[in-house]
């Protein structure tokens, strides 16, 4: 599929889909240009979802209820995609709020990029069970285009020239 954010200040997407899944074939804010597509609900959130990450090997979905448009979001949720369970908060650690990006590593740890203020951000590592939260980088400046992933060298990569040891 090719999901493209449409013009305007909304969450309308256009999709080119050669095959579908299960569920309904219409969603108000998605227009199918070619092929057929089926939509089904994986999870619902009380607030808009701005950051999402799927850990395919562990079959887990992680998402944040914080966005720059909805600054009241304070949690990262996890959902086991192999069961019919509801999403649960990943951790109760008060430092984990205002999360704008999420990534996972090969062992199932979850990394979050937290918006602090202005141009400042922090990175935290959370064990898959949510029991341990470790600060990786505190209040560093981030501008321009960026990305967020953990590479094979166990580094959290934010920009080409900005990487942090994940341990």
pLDDT number for residue 66: 85
| Residue 25 host element (H or E) | none
Two structure tokens written together for 110? 């979850």
Two structure tokens written together for 158? 């934010």
Per-residue pLDDT reduced to its tens digit, 154-166: 999 999 889 999 9
The whole-model pTM stands at 0.74
- Distance CA(54)–CA(162), nearest Å, equals 23
Per-residue pLDDT reduced to its tens digit, 19-74: 444 555 566 656 667 666 666 665 566 667 778 898 988 889 999 988 777 787 78
Q: Are 16 and 1 in contact (CB under 8 A)?
A: yes
- Distance CA(153)–CA(51), nearest Å, equals 24
- Distance CA(126)–CA(137), nearest Å, equals 13
What is the distance of C-alpha 54 from the center of its chain? 8
């Amino acid at each position: 599929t090719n999901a493209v954010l449409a013009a305007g200040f909304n969450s309308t997407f256009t999709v080119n889909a050669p095959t579908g899944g299960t569920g309904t074939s219409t969603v108000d804010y998605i227009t199918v240009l070619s092929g057929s597509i089926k939509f089904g609900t994986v999870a619902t959130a009380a607030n808009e979802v701005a950051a999402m990450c799927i850990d395919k090997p562990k079959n887990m979905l992680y998402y944040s209820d914080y966005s720059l448009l909805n600054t009241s979001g304070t949690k990262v949720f996890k959902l086991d995609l192999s069961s019919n369970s509801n999403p649960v908060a990943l951790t109760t650690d008060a430092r984990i709020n205002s999360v704008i990006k999420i990534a996972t590593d090969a062992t199932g740890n979850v990394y979050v990029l937290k918006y602090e203020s202005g141009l400042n951000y922090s990175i935290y590592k959370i064990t898959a069970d949510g029991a341990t939260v470790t600060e990786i980088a505190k209040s560093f400046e981030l501008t321009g285009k960026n990305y967020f992933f953990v590479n094979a060298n166990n580094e959290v990569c934010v920009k080409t020239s900005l990487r942090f040891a994940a341990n």
